[in-house]
Amino acid sequence: MIYASLFQRQREPETVRVGLIGAGDFGTPLVTQARFIPRLEIPVVADVNVEAARRAFLQAGVPDDAVAVCESRADALCALERGKRVVL
């Protein structure tokens, strides 16, 4: 799978954290399936359609109050520090 090379670069038990660009036909399934892939975390989704990015997290089972829509890098970093999933 595509993610296998990501894990080869990381030492156990480190988690690979990625930001996803695009919450369409390919991106949304990645977000929803990430919870079943050990050591993979997708805390950020960016899309020109903010609602599509937010829906990707909701479809993955992330509670609505755990998703933060951010408009700046500073806001996104603060939200990540609070444990939120970030939509850009």
Task: Tell me the pLDDT tens digit for each residue of 8-46.
Answer: 766 667 788 999 999 999 999 999 999 898 888 999 999
Q: What confidence score (pLDDT) does residue 69 get?
A: 98
- Distance from C-alpha of 27 to C-alpha of 44, rounded to nearest angstrom: 11
Alpha-carbon distances of 10 from 4, 17, 27, 30, rounded to whole Å? 10, 11, 23, 20
Q: What confidence score (pLDDT) does residue 19 get?
A: 95
Q: How far apart are the first and last CA of the chain?
A: 26
Query: How does residue 88 score in pLDDT terms, banded at 50, 70 and 90?
Result: very high
pTM: 0.83
Average pLDDT, the chain: 90
Query: How does residue 68 score in pLDDT terms, banded at 50, 70 and 90?
Result: very high
Q: What confidence score (pLDDT) does residue 1 get?
A: 53
